[in-house]
Structure 1
Amino acid sequence: MAEASLLDLKGLNCPLPVLRTGKALRALAAGDLLIVEATDPMAAIDIPHFCREQGHRLVEEKKEGAVLRFIIARGA
């Protein structure tokens, strides 16, 4: 079963959420899950785009109040 890690990026502004997401994904094994929570509205654009460009799978994207929550499966 894939491991899951939580990355709390609430309060950080662009470009930090996507940069820190990339760094956290590099530390994971292929198939592992990263749960990202951010409050920067640009993360709703940046993180899905980053996943498409880098070959990661965006498993889920949800907004709860001001918090954007992404579940990302690390690509190969």
Structure 2
Amino acid sequence: MSEEKVIDVRGDECPIPELKASKELRKMRNGKLIVLTDHEPAIDVTLPSLCKSLGLNYTIEKEKDYVKFIIVKEKNVEIKVEEGYSKYKRIDVNLSSKDSFRILQDPSVIQSFVPQIKAIRKGENGYVFELK
């Protein structure tokens, strides 16, 4: 039997929309999860990344001031949630493209994936992510 669940995360910023979507997807066997959101990074980056990582299809229906992000779960997909703390206070990343640094400087994009990042700076051989 196919389920349909609606979660309203309008007004919530990353990573809340994808965390709530992931939680609901873990509960569902199959069906549609409709995420109502108005947060652009969730629409453009984090919810599509969540779907891609799980092998799930999605569609986006634009409304007046929000979107319906519709995730289709056709099979039971195992979603693991791991929490913990790292002993590291920084992460070094080697990137060759100036565009990559420009993209990474936008904290809303990178912090939606790693909320512990508080700053990004150019290092000697790449970029350094300073952690909270």
Q: Does 1:57 align with 2:57?
A: yes
| Deviation of the 1:66 alpha carbon | 2.4
Partner of residue 22, structure 1:
22
Partner of residue 42, structure 2:
43
| Local SS of the residue matching 2:35 | strand
% of aligned pairs identical? 31
Q: Does 1:13 align with 2:5?
A: no
Give CA deviations for 1:36-62 in whole Å, capped at 9, x if unaligned.
10111111121111101112221x212
Query: Number of residues paired by the alignment?
Result: 74
Q: Which has the larger radius of gyration?
A: 2
| Deviation of the 1:5 alpha carbon | 0.7
CA distance in 2, matches of 1:57, 1:27: 17
Per the normalisation by structure 2, the TM-score is 0.52
CA distance in 2, matches of 1:39, 1:17: 10
Give CA deviations for 1:17-76 in whole Å, capped at 9, x if unaligned.
0111000100101x2111110111111121111101112221x21222320211111243
What's the Cα RMSD here? 1.3
In structure 2, the gaps of 5 or more residues are: 77-132
Per the normalisation by structure 1, the TM-score is 0.85
In structure 1, the gaps of 5 or more residues are: none
